[in-house]
Amino acid sequence: MNKSRRMISLQAREFAAKEYAVLIIDLFGTGDSQGDFSDANWTAWRQSLLSLCRALLQQGFTISLWALRCGTLLALDMAEKSEIQFENFLMWQPVLNGETFMMQFLRLRVASALMDRNAPREKTADLKKMLQDGHLLEVAGYGLNPELVNPLMAIRANQFKKLPFKKIAIIEVIGDSQKGAPINRKFVDELQHKDFDVSLQSVAGSPFWSTQEIVEVPELITASLQCI
């Protein structure tokens, strides 16, 4: 989130310039919200999103969702459990399999332990079991609450039967020599087969959510405006 805030703010300003109202959410335990990240849990995050959407509807807004990375799965989970018909759903570099993502993240702790002779040797499967048993883990300086991580690991984007969106747009950010993720193409093909209005495109740029320095991807902003 810290690496991404620059791009989120730039995009939000561009949306606002086109007369869209934009609400950027710091979920519990993140950003300027109360609580520690280690206290965050999936159910509370989902309920916060749902409550905000309902409040916007009461004010007369129609709503499009915009998500980055794992926010995609949170938005899909919330949307399926809501009674709301959304307009667009814009996905930036979506995570479509929560378990695959978390297992990759847990490898950071495994790699760190290999650099420390005094640290116990762990496997990602061991760490996953600890989370499933209800233990809080620290990875890369973040306390992972089992009540946040375990629901995430159980979610895959293709499991949702209810997708209350008029249009879905997925945008990948890839380097010059890279190709798009096959899982995104497969997901789009599955949705198109079910007659959903869904698009997939790639823009050139650096993975701003994980780069060492803060970077911008102007092509992503332009493409997002066109999608909406």
Per-residue pLDDT for the chain (228 aa), expressed as one digit of tens each?
889 999 999 999 999 999 999 999 999 999 999 999 999 999 999 999 999 999 999 999 999 999 999 999 999 999 999 999 999 999 999 999 999 999 999 998 888 766 666 666 788 999 999 999 999 999 988 899 999 999 999 999 999 989 999 999 999 999 877 888 999 999 999 999 999 999 999 999 999 999 999 999 999 999 999 998
Residues 91 and 111 in one domain: no
Residues 81 and 182 in one domain: yes
pLDDT score for 113: 67
Residues 32 and 111 in one domain: no
Calculated CA dihedral for residues 63, 216, 103, 29, nearest 10 degrees: -60
pLDDT score for 121: 72
User: 37: domain range?
Assistant: 5-97+157-227
Residues 107 and 20 in one domain: no
Q: What CATH number does residue 70 fall under? A: 3.40.50.1820
| Helix runs in the chain, H state only | 5-17, 42-58, 71-80, 98-114, 124-132, 146-153, 182-193, 218-227
pLDDT score for 163: 95
Residues 112 and 194 in one domain: no
Q: How many domains does the chain have?
A: 2
Residue 152 lies in a domain: no
Residues 27 and 135 in one domain: no
Residues 89 and 109 in one domain: no
Residues 87 and 44 in one domain: yes
pLDDT score for 110: 87
Residue 161 lies in a domain: yes
pTM: 0.93
> 62 in helix, strand or coil?
coil
Residue 85 lies in a domain: yes
